[in-house]
């Protein structure tokens, strides 16, 4: 079967590189192209293109741009078998795009960059290291480049793509989770790593706002955990010091209250997902984490370090374990 893959190029404030990219793609017989103008003020570059351009009246985000092309491609092309997303800033070489095109069959194909090179900006190295670690912990799948913009997506994932939450850079990570959750596979192809600007000034990625969108779940989980700990400590002081209840009784009451608060917040705000056994699974996890905290703190107490510091280290490790288990087991279900 001949692949008829649509090249989707989201673009915001492009320069001559976009014109060069489109020209090279057509010469390489990759001529089914849609460019999405994501709210660019100066239309000069787009006016020079001789391929379909979908315009957004304002900046909606990279995810929204990709979705617009997928929703509207039938207006321009028929018999498409897949989609290939490509950045417009020259970071993706045509030879690598061609490789994605040749290898795109039944599963998602990702063009993976090498972040160990000296040419990669420090910010990108750190961001990718963290996102790759986070992705591995939450999926148990190794992916060296979670934010690659060069992706081959089979047509069978069209509806899944359109259903994926997020309209900006968080869409890219969310889509990978969607694919995995639906039993799909991620195939990887090593591509050239192109950074002409060491500091990556031309990137439209906003470190704070876009990082929050990508890691919103983890950040909200952390905030809920901190609030739960404050509630636990505050109520313990009230019951033990002011109501003069015993340490054991105060601990049990406060753990029940803070644990119930934590469950409801994680269910409705953090993961926004649950199944009929979520509460039972949460109770089992809650008790297990509590026992493990006490056990490991006691085991490592032989180290000549303050017990509070040991417990803090143990609880940080268990915090990561608890997050992964809650995401993958406790609150895994229909949204």
pLDDT in tens, 51-77: 999 999 999 999 999 999 999 999 999
As a whole number, mean pLDDT of residues 38-50 equals 92
Burial bucket for residue 178 (CB in 10 Å: 0-12, 13-18, 19+):
middle
- pLDDT for the residue numbered 335: 43
CATH 3.90.550.10 correct for 5-207: yes
- Domains of the chain, by residue range, sit at 5-207, 217-330
Residue 185: which region, alpha, beta or left (left: phi > 0; alpha: psi -120 to 50)? beta
The pLDDT tens digits for 274-300 are 778 899 999 999 899 888 887 887 887
Burial bucket for residue 4 (CB in 10 Å: 0-12, 13-18, 19+):
middle
As a whole number, mean pLDDT of residues 19-23 equals 94
- pLDDT for the residue numbered 204: 59
- pLDDT for the residue numbered 124: 74
As a whole number, mean pLDDT of residues 26-52 equals 92
Q: Please state the φ and ψ torsions of residue 250, each to the nearest 5 degrees.
A: -60, -40
Does the CA dihedral 270-221-208-83 come out positive or negative?
Answer: negative
What stretch of H or E contains 187?
strand 186-190
pTM: 0.78
pLDDT above 90: percentage of residues in the chain: 46
- pLDDT for the residue numbered 306: 74
pLDDT above 70: percentage of residues in the chain: 93
- Say whether pLDDT at 201 is over 70: no
- Say whether pLDDT at 2 is over 70: no
> Over the chain, what is the mean pLDDT?
86
- Say whether pLDDT at 311 is over 80: no
CB atoms closer than 10 angstroms to residue 50: 10
The DSSP code for 200 is: -
Q: How far apart are CA 268 and CA 258, in angstroms?
A: 15
The pLDDT tens digits for 83-140 are 999 998 888 999 999 999 999 999 999 999 887 777 777 777 877 888 888 888 888 8
- pLDDT for the residue numbered 1: 46
């Amino acid at each position: 079967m001949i692949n008829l893959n649509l090249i989707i190029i989201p673009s915001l404030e492009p320069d001559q590189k976009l014109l060069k990219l489109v020209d090279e793609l057509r010469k390489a017989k990759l001529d089914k192209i849609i460019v999405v103008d994501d709210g660019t003020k100066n239309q000069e570059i787009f006016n020079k293109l001789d391929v379909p351009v979908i315009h957004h009246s304002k900046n909606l985000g990279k995810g929204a741009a990709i979705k617009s092309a997928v929703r509207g491609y039938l207006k321009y092309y028929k018999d498409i078998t897949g989609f290939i997303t490509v950045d417009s800033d020259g970071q993706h070489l045509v030879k690598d795009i061609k490789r994605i095109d040749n290898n795109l069959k039944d599963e998602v194909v990702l063009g993976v960059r090498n972040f160990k090179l000296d040419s990669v900006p420090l910010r990108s190295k750190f961001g990718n290291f963290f996102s790759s670690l986070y992705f591995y912990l939450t999926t148990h799948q190794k992916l060296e480049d979670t934010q690659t913009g060069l992706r081959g997506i089979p047509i069978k994932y069209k509806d899944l793509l359109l259903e994926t939450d997020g309209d900006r850079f968080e869409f890219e990570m969310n889509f990978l989770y969607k694919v995995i959750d639906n039993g799909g596979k991620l195939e990887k192809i090593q591509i050239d790593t192109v950074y002409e600007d060491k500091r990556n000034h031309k990137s439209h990625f906003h470190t704070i706002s876009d990082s929050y969108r990508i890691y919103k779940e983890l950040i909200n989980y952390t905030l809920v955990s901190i609030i739960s700990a404050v509630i636990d400590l505050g109520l313990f002081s009230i019951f033990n010091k002011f109501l003069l209840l015993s340490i054991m009784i105060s601990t049990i009451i406060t753990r029940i209250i803070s644990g119930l608060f934590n469950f409801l917040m994680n269910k409705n705000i953090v993961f926004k997902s649950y199944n009929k056994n979520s509460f039972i699974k949460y109770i089992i996890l809650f008790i297990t984490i509590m026992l493990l905290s006490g056990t490991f703190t006691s085991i490592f107490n032989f180290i000549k370090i303050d017990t509070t510091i040991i417990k803090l280290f143990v609880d940080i490790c268990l915090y990561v374990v608890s997050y992964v288990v809650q995401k993958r087991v406790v609150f895994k279900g229909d949204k």
